[in-house]
Amino acid sequence: MAKLHLITYGCQMNEYDSERVAGLLRERDYELTADEGDADVILLNTCAIREKAEDKVFSKLGELRALKRDKPSLLIGVMGCMAQLRKGAIQQRAPIVDLVFGSPAIARVGELVERARREGRPVLDVGEAPLVKVTSRPGRPGPKAFVTVMEGCDKHCTFCVVPRTRGRERSHPPEAIVAEIEGLVAEGCREVTLLGQTVNAYGRDLTPPTDLAELFARVNDVEGLARIRFTTSNPYNLTPALIRAIREVEKVCEWFHLPLQSGSDRVLARMNRGYTRARYLELVDALREAEPALAFSTDIIVGFPGETEGDLEATLETIERVSYDNVFVFRYSPRPGTPAAAMPEQIPDEVKARRNARVLDVVQRVTAARSRLLAGRTMEVLVDGTSRKNPGELSGRTRCNRVVNFDGAGRTTVGDIVPVQVTEVLPHSLRGALATPEEAVCWSK
């Protein structure tokens, strides 16, 4: 068997795509290797969301030069968002690359790899292609799996490169999604995360049109599945039907990732986000009223062009007001071809760094306060592995997406859903103890 080494950068959609690629190549007798020195084919699945993501790939390609020199038959491929956006730069800066293909070409990866090996000159496939649902996997799924339900984005956020890398919004038909999930569950999966760049815009492009709330209902009917998550949502498309579904559909977990980006209306307008701070807060209130146990997480960009100290204050206040369980903070990174990259008043790196630190300070305080609310509670945990720090302990997540480590070896195992009482609140995780089912609150709705 030939050996494939896959390196995945970026988002969950990329993780999902990498699995499809590993599955498709497995059908052609490639097995995965963790050792790049041992590989016949190395594929880099790339991200273009910020410049730093691109830098990592170019530096990795630099490192791989020596490997290729020692083993000229080694095939090196670049796939994913950077392939789509930066094909010219890749070929110019990294002539060792034999194959460049975008996400629409994933279904053809087997032919592409074979063609590149046969022809001995670079193969490029970055065109548009109809969306196909590829469901191959390299092996059995774990207790949790991602399932892409739609690709692309029709928003025009001025900072974002995704519409140029993943194309327009295209949804997979609900039947194909349900069939994929049934297959996963039959092999032991208990939780799925439905993925899309704007997942709550799901189904608008289908005939007949449908929506995420209807998809929840269909996925909820899959017997043996225990949990449904979904990401990422855009506040702009958040409908009353979706809010109702979050309350009513049993398997949908009490966790909502809702990117705010900024708490300042001036910045939100320049970002072209399509909502104001007041509208965002109205949605959060409506969601909390529908489902009081809901935990929110969000993305924040600091240092967007023209952002003032006053704008930053508005962001900090909004973070406190929403009281998030988790916040991802990013420094604005100008992306090629996006309107914000050409805006005046770009913010210097030192200022971005300072603002980043200020946001993280507030985030730490807010999330710690949320964590303290969980002390002593008994919650439903899906066991998904062992603790990162202590392999003798099991680890899992609550429905509200918190990591809980606990001593349960011999009494429970990966894939089980068990009640765990929170005994200690740590900065990035919770510690707990196995409890009896009768003690579980937030067990289901």
Contact 325, 370 (CB under 8 A): yes
Q: Output 50 or 270, the one with its CB closest to ligand 5AD.
A: 50
**CB-nearer residue toward ligand 5AD: 97 or 267:** 267
Q: Which tokens belong to 294?
A: 């809901």
Q: Is residue 261 part of the contact set for ligand 5AD (CB under 6 A)?
A: yes
Q: Which two tokens stand for residue 79?
A: 């796939």
Q: Does 45 bind ligand 5AD (CB under 6 A)?
A: no
Residue 114, amino acid: E
- Residue 265 or 299: which CB sits closer to ligand 5AD? 299
Largest CA distance in the chain: 64
* Distance between CA atoms of residues 158 and 391, nearest Å: 44
Contact status: 231 vs ligand 5AD (CB under 6 A): no
Among residues 333, 367, 398, 405, the one that binds ligand 5AD under rule CB under 6 A: 333
Task: Report the residue from 203, 259, 396, 432 that binds ligand 5AD according to the rule CB under 6 A.
Answer: 259
Chain centroid to CA 348 = 28
Alpha helices in 35-193 (DSSP H): 51-70, 81-85, 87-93, 109-119, 162-165, 174-186
Q: How many residues belong to the chain?
A: 445
With a CB cutoff of 8 Å and minimum separation 6, the contacts of 52 are: 333
Contact present, 30 and 2 (Cβ < 8 Å): yes
Site mask for ligand 5AD (CB under 6 A), range 154-193, x = bound: -----xx---------------------------------
Strands 2-8 and 41-46: parallel
Which region, judged by CB under 6 A, interacts with ligand 5AD, from 39-47, 87-95, 329-337, 395-403? 329-337
Query: Among all chains, which residue has been given the structure tokens 């071809």?
Result: 337
Question: Could you tell me the smallest distance in angstroms from the CB atom of residue 260 to ligand 5AD?
Answer: 9
Question: Which one of the spans 94-102, 176-184, 277-285, 331-339 is the region binding ligand 5AD (CB under 6 A)?
Answer: 331-339
| 299 lies in the binding site for ligand 5AD (CB under 6 A) | yes
94-133 mask for ligand 5AD (x: CB under 6 A)? ----------------------------------------
Q: Are 205 and 153 in contact (CB under 8 A)?
A: no
Give the total of residues touching ligand 5AD (CB under 6 A): 12
Query: Considering the rule CB under 6 A, would residue 49 count as an interface residue with ligand 5AD?
Result: yes
Q: Considering beta carbons, is residue 159 or 275 the nearer one to ligand 5AD?
A: 159
Contact call for residue 273 and ligand 5AD (CB under 6 A): no
List phi, psi (to 5°) of 434. -55, 135
Cα–Cα distance measured from residue 334 to residue 345, given in angstroms and rounded to the nearest whole number = 12
Q: Is 256 in the site for ligand 5AD (CB under 6 A)?
A: no
CB of 338 to ligand 5AD, least distance (A): 7
> Which residue from 20, 26, 50, 251 is in contact with ligand 5AD, where contact means CB under 6 A?
50
**How does DSSP assign 85-126, residue by residue?**
H-HHHHHHH-TT--EEE-GGGGGGHHHHHHHHHHH-S-EEE-
Q: In what order do the strands lie in the sheet with 191-195?
A: 144-148, 191-195, 227-231
Residue 315 touching ligand 5AD (CB under 6 A): no
Torsion over CA of 88, 92, 97 and 99, rounded to 10 degrees?
Answer: 20
Among the residue ranges 93-101, 245-253, 317-325, 328-336, the one whose residues contact ligand 5AD (CB under 6 A): 328-336
Q: Which stretch binds ligand 5AD (CB under 6 A): 281-289, 332-340, 346-354, 423-431?
A: 332-340
Kindly tell me which residue out of 275, 324, 332, 406 binds ligand 5AD, with binding defined by CB under 6 A: 332
Give the shortest CB-271-to-ligand 5AD separation in angstroms.
10
Angle at 193 between CA 35 and CA 34, to 5 degrees: 5
Residue 301 interacts with ligand 5AD (CB under 6 A): yes or no? yes
d(CA 441, CA 394): 21
Q: Of 271 and 379, which CB lies nearer to ligand 5AD in the complex structure? A: 271
Contact 62, 55 (CB under 8 A): no
- Shortest Cβ 141–ligand 5AD spacing (Å): 25
| Chain residues in the site for ligand 5AD (CB under 6 A) | 49-50, 159-160, 259, 261, 299, 301, 330, 332-333, 335
